[in-house]
Amino acid sequence: MPSVPTHRAAFGARVRELRTARGWSQEEFAHRADLDRTYVSGVERGVRNPTLDVINHLAKALGVDVMEFFSR
Amino acid sequence: MPSVPTHRAAFGARVRELRTARGWSQEEFAHRADLDRTYVSGVERGVRNPTLDVINHLAKALGVDVMEFFSR
DNA sequence: TTGTGACTCCGAGTCCGTG
DNA sequence: CCACGGACTCGGAGTCACA
CA dist A18 → A21, A22, A25, A43 (Å): 5, 7, 11, 13
Residue A2: pLDDT band by 50, 70, 90 thresholds?
low
Contact B68, B55 (CB under 8 A): no
Minimal C-alpha gap between B27 and chain A (Å): 23
pLDDT exceeds 60 at position B1: no
pLDDT digits (tens, 9 = 90+) for B13-59: 999 999 999 999 999 999 999 999 999 999 999 999 999 999 999 99
The answer to whether position B46 is within a domain reads yes
Q: How far is the first Cα of chain A from the last one, in angstroms, to the nearest whole number?
A: 24
Mutation test of the interface with chain B: which of A43, A70, A71, choosing the one with the most B Cβ atoms within 10 A? Answer: A70
Q: How many separate domains does chain A show?
A: 1
**Whole-prediction pTM value?**
0.93
pLDDT digits (tens, 9 = 90+) for A42-51: 999 999 999 9
Q: The domain containing residue A12 runs over which residues?
A: 6-69
Q: What is the CATH number of the domain that holds A63?
A: 1.10.260.40
The answer to whether position A1 is within a domain reads no
What is the residue type of A23? G
Strand D nucleotides where any atom sits below 7 Å of a protein CB: 1-6, 11-17
Positive or negative CA dihedral for A50, A51, A55, A60?
Answer: negative
Mutation test of the interface with chain A: which of B47, B70, B71, B72, choosing the one with the most A Cβ atoms within 10 A? Answer: B70
Residue A72: pLDDT band by 50, 70, 90 thresholds?
confident
